[in-house]
């Protein structure tokens, strides 16, 4: 059934259309993609000056939250590519990224581009993975776990950006993931 739907989708979208591998974790990808869309709506609703107001993270402004989710997507995409190619993974230093302070000072337009471009890049990397590549891992990361990781990060960021959104409005599957 899914295969027929994919063929129909490719027909409508054209030969160059991408679709997820059959072994891709579709539920986790949906969680991450819905979270990205939700966060993008929150971000796009903020006027530029409000990006530099306080977030819910002590010592961080909203721009820090935006930069952190943009850098997280970039890091995940790079890590997946490194696993696929067998090259060493260059990881940033966790949640306190060295570049975060610098990225948080860039103009609002550039910050918005960082978020949107990194999200698209990560999504393209996921879409290009074959069935076999979804099973690949290194010592720290199983590629098939990256969508769930991203989903958690992006939905949590929707709370951290401090726009008045409460987790009570999140879909039930998101609430379950965030509480596990």
For 1-34, the pLDDT digits (tens) are 445 444 444 445 566 677 999 999 999 999 999 9
Question: Fold for domain 25-178?
Answer: 1.20.120
The tens digit of pLDDT for each residue in 26-62 reads: 999 999 999 999 999 999 999 999 999 999 999 999 9
CA distances from 157 to 28, 52, 71, 154 (A): 17, 15, 13, 5
Q: Is the pLDDT of residue 179 over 50?
A: yes
CA distances from 84 to 22, 63, 77, 87 (A): 18, 32, 11, 8
- Annotated domain spans of the chain: 25-178
| pTM of the model as a whole | 0.87
The span from the first CA to the last CA of the chain, in angstroms, equals 32
Burial of 160 (0-12, 13-18, 19+ CB in 10 A): buried
Confidence of residue 88 (pLDDT cuts 50, 70, 90): confident
């Amino acid at each position: 059934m899914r295969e027929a739907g994919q063929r129909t989708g490719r027909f409508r979208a054209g030969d160059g259309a991408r679709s997820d591998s059959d072994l891709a974790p579709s539920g986790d990808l949906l969680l991450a993609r819905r979270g990205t869309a939700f966060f993008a709506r929150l971000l796009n609703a903020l006027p530029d000056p409000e990006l530099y107001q306080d977030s819910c993270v002590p010592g961080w402004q909203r721009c820090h939250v935006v930069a952190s989710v943009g850098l997280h997507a970039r890091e995940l995409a790079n890590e997946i590519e490194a696993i696929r190619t067998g090259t060493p993974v260059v990881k940033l230093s966790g949640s306190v990224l060295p570049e975060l302070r610098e990225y948080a000072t860039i103009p609002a337009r550039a910050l918005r581009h960082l978020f949107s471009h990194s999200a698209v890049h990560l999504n393209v990397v996921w879409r290009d993975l074959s069935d076999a590549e979804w099973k690949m891992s290194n010592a720290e990361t199983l590629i098939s776990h990256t969508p769930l990781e991203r989903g958690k990060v992006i939905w949590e960021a929707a709370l951290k950006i401090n726009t008045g959104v409460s987790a009570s409005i999140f879909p039930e599957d998101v609430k379950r993931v965030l509480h596990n």
